[in-house]
């Protein structure tokens, strides 16, 4: 399966996909990286990985969509992966790639869509947050959920610490979710994702952890 990855910045999820695709057994390859920003650090990661990359400025949403669509098609892309792409996409573009475009968001959707989801999670006082890979629909951070990872909130967490913990999970989850799509194991039925041969974990995680696992304050 040929992937087109859309980025706007750091590109650490792109890096995780590059690493996954380096394994010959991985069923996908990155055909093209598109950034809407010339200063995106992810562009250097694409270059280092020998992956074709280009900048399409996004002053005009429709113009961006038309150019991106043409480039993705010319590159033979089967699946578009949004990886820290920070611009709302043109609805016609989203509909043209319906069920062939995925996104990763750093919360357990449908909780905390939009900007600063980690900050939203801390403000809400939740004990767990995480990340979600979902198929993309026109409304921001909505669409059939493909995979999620749960991450505990620790006492004293700030936005930076929680974001780092979630990001480490993102880097494991995104390649896994894309693998399932690339292997042809996913189907969307009634706006939910069915996965062939899916195994769910048995364990529930408790937070706070049970008493025997409590850490005693020192001193
Ligand atoms: C990630 O947290 C992703 O979930 C969100 O934007 C961030 C992008 O980080 N959509 P990076 O550019 O992949 O490092």
Q: Which residues are catalytic?
A: 105
Contacts of 120 (CB under 8 A, 6+ apart): 107, 111, 112, 114
**Has residue 16 got a pLDDT over 70?**
yes
Distance 56 CA to ligand 1 centre (A): 19
Q: What is the C-alpha separation between 167 and 11, in angstroms, rounded? A: 11
- Ligand 1 atom 9: residue of nearest CA: 84
Indicate the pLDDT class of residue 210, thresholds 50, 70 and 90: confident
| Cis amide prior to 110 (ω within 30 degrees) | yes
Percent of the chain with pLDDT over 90: 93
The verdict on the CB of residue 170 being under 6 Å from ligand 1 is yes
Q: What is the mean pLDDT of residues 16-36?
A: 98
Q: How far is the CA of 12 from the centre of ligand 1 (A)?
A: 7
pLDDT in tens, 39-82: 999 999 999 999 999 999 998 999 999 999 999 999 999 999 99
pLDDT in tens, 159-208: 999 999 999 999 999 999 999 999 999 999 999 999 999 999 998 999 99
């Amino acid at each position: 399966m040929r992937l087109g990855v859309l980025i706007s910045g750091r590109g650490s999820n792109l890096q995780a996909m590059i690493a996954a695709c380096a394994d010959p057994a991985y069923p996908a390859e990155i055909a093209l990286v598109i950034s809407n920003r010339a200063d995106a650090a992810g562009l250097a990661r694409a270059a280092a990985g020998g992956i074709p990359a280009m900048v399409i400025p996004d002053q005009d949403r429709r113009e961006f969509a038309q150019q991106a669509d043409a480039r993705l098609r010319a590159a033979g892309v089967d699946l578009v992966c949004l990886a820290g792409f920070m611009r709302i996409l043109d609805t016609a573009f989203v509909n043209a790639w319906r069920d062939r475009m995925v996104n990763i968001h750093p919360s357990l959707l449908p909780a905390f869509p939009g900007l600063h989801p980690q900050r939203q999670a801390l403000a809400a006082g939740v004990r767990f947050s995480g990340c979600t890979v979902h198929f993309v629909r026109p409304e921001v951070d909505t669409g059939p959920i493909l995979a999620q990872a749960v991450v505990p909130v620790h006492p004293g967490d700030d936005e930076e610490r929680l974001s780092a913990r979630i990001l480490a999970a993102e880097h494991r989850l995104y390649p896994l979710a894309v693998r399932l799509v690339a292997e042809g194991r996913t189907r969307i039925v009634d706006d939910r994702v069915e996965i062939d041969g899916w195994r769910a974990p048995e364990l529930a995680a408790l937070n706070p952890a049970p008493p025997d696992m409590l850490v005693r304050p020192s001193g």
